[in-house]
Structure 1
Amino acid sequence: MDPFDSSDDSDDDIFFRMMYHYYTTDLLQPDPTSLLTRCAMLNRNREEGHKHLYRDYFADNCVYGAKDFKRRFRLSRDVFLRIANALESRYKFFQLRYDARDRREFTTLQKCAAAIRLMAMGESPDTMDDYMRMSERTARESLYTLSRGVVEAFGDVYLRKPSSHALQELYVVHEERHGFPGMIGSIYCTH
């Protein structure tokens, strides 16, 4: 049976048969001599990525204003910086470090911006290479650590059930803004 024969098959069937063919061949068996060699290090120019991010969003005369920041990251710059500072003080992962080759790793701003962009825009981790100059692995690690860190740092204050007084305030604010009451608990407001 030819795994690439596509007569009367869906695309999914073809894909899975190709994957089965790939995994059942000897392509996955490592060459013993290759285990001793180093992986090629990709020079992503992390410093340039940080300068670009800082110039665009955080400098005094930044390219994009607060409105653009909120649209792209789905939160205000002040909240972003508050989260970044809290994570930097709690986690070594978000602190500026140097690797074994004495090269600067990614900054707190880069890691937080990548993670929040992944959540806010639903982008895949490999898209961070273009703008942030960040690998897919680092972007994924940033997302995981940021998620865990936000829950640990801000969970007691923001991730609790609202009091009855807070619920009433939410009802009033929602009615003023959108013109109809009954936001909390409505199935239409869950999306």
Structure 2
Amino acid sequence: MSNAGGSGEDAEEEFEWQVLEELEAYTTREAERLLERALQPRVPRPRPVVHRRAVTDRDHVAAHQRLYDDYFAEQPRHDVAGRPDHSAIQKCTAAIRQLAYGGAADMWKDYIHIGETTALQCMKFFCHGVIKIFRDRYLRSLTPEDCQDLMRCTGRSMGSRGC
């Protein structure tokens, strides 16, 4: 019986020995393969071809300012105190923005750098100019032709508005 137990232990030891030999052989082969791979010269992979446009840095803002200064800028005027006055563009912008957006006169002071009183004066002056220029065409009594055009467009009569 002891023989049977002994032979079982021998078989077990033999099995462990075979496993260790195979494991050592496998790890040796794998280590050699990895070492061989690491020692091979690396061939750089070609980068994919990407066609990019060349970017030329152009200072668009400075170009605009130069163009404006060369052709459109007026010589700065000064008020009675000797301070530079607002440009015509600033004044027209203040008036048109007040009319377009219906805000307060000082609503644009941070954008246009113009005060409330000056903005109101600009808007009044602008409105008087528009009335003076377009009065004859647009601020007149309606003619019968105007009434006909309006009735045709709206599909109803104008009642007692002078027609």
Q: TM-score under structure 1 normalisation?
A: 0.39
Larger Rg: 2
* Bigger relative CO (Cα 8 Å, ≥ 6 apart): 1
